[in-house]
Amino acid sequence: MHRTIPLIANLILLAVVSSTTPQALAEAPPDSLTLESTSCAAGPGDTLQVELWLRNPQQPISGFQAFVQFDPAALTYLGIASCYTKCTGATDPPCGNGPFQLYFPADVSNAGNFSGAQPGELNISGSTGFTGPCAAPASADARIAILSFQVNAGLQCATTSVDFRDWGALSSELSDQGIPVPTSLVATGELTLDGAPPQIACPEDVTVSCQAFPDIGETGMAGAIDDCGEPALEFSDSIAMGEGDPELIVTRTWTATDACGHTTQCVQTITVTPSLGDGDVNGDGFVDGLDVQPMIELMIEGGTPGPAFCAADMNADLQINDADAGLLVSALLAG
Ligand SMILES: [Ca+2]
Ligand SMILES: [Ca+2]
Ligand SMILES: [Ca+2]
């Protein structure tokens, strides 16, 4: 007989490495222009996307100018793969939903072509229309453009950033009806260019007793390495009854995640064998009436191997049911 026990949502964070990945700005400063990269999961030859956003406008915004700079030794601008999120006229999703209609340059692929341009410089600006459906000023967060870059060769694990700059006397800023709006500029911050997932090694498959199962010292830890830093390790379990003799088969999926969000998994099989429970379901050192209620809860809700489950499994069949409750009652009556 094969019975599947409800999957346990047993996700244990074993090690967390602080991530250098900039996240989308949950709380941007008022009236800000931001450069955001949702992922640094790009290595040499990969495409890195950086989005230009209007964030948290406190007043109507009808225009912007963004003078962008990047390290041309690290990144190559991919104009054709980039796009404005034009109010109208754009063809590639999600590039058809921005607040601004008029752009300079009209084609974002030419953002690096302007008088006096230096390598690594992009100039883009735009405004809402004077009339028509795109005439309303922006009043909410809006993605203005998606800028695509190729990560240059030999840069695995290098860091870079995409920033704002001034252009002569002009600043990167928002505006309304041609009047500059005091603007907070938020650049990408440091991006680790990482195109490779971590490597992971699972612990050996093991057989442990019910009581020993929750102890990671008994079942073993996975190991993981990443070329750009220490990855985070976590696992999740799914548990099913084994065939034949009472035993539980725990399929433990280990996942290593690097700071850029690449993941690698491996699977460990843990066989849990029964052991006689002592009835101390609440773990207070006594077998008494206080153990009845948690026993009933385990009977109703089920459970997975752990101190309470194993203590309640008084007939050692890896199930908590009437038989265990009866044995507990007998133990209580026997004093
Ligand atoms: Ca990596
Ligand atoms: Ca107890
Ligand atoms: Ca039992």
For the chain, domains (ranges, CATH) are 32-192 (2.60.40.680), 196-273 (2.60.40.10), 289-334 (no CATH)
Q: Which residues, other chains included, contact 41 with Cβ-Cβ below 8 Å and sequence gap of 6+?
A: 194, 195, 260, 261, 262
Report whether pLDDT(237) > 60: yes
Nearest to 235 by CA among 262, 254, 215, 261: 254
Distance 311 CA to ligand 2 centre (A): 9
Token pair recorded at residue 75: 């990144």
> Can you give the pLDDT at residue 23?
45
Q: How many CB atoms lie within 10 A of CB 118?
A: 9
The Cβ of residue 228 has, within 10 Å, a number of other Cβ atoms equal to 22
In the reported structure, the alpha carbon of residue 257 is separated from the centroid of ligand 3 by a whole-number distance in angstroms of 38
* Residues paired with residue 267 on neighbouring β-strands, in sequence order: 253
Measured from the alpha carbon of residue 305, the closest ligand is 3
What is the CA(329)–ligand 3 centre distance, in A? 14
**Centre of ligand 2 from the C-alpha of residue 293, in Å:** 10
Mean pLDDT of the 253-269 span = 95
Average pLDDT estimate for 115-128: 96
pLDDT above 90: residue 224: yes
Distance of CA 221 to the CA centre of its chain: 22
Q: Over the chain, what is the mean pLDDT? A: 88
- In angstroms, what is the span from residue 135 Cα to ligand 3's centroid? 71
Which uninterrupted H or E stretch holds 235? strand 232-241
More confident residue, 113 or 261: 113
Residue among 125, 112, 114, 107 at smallest CA distance from 64: 125
Q: What percent of the chain has pLDDT over 70?
A: 89
Residue 173 CA to residue 57 CA, distance in Å, equals: 12
pTM for the full model? 0.71
- Ligand 1 centroid to Cα of residue 277, in Å, is 45
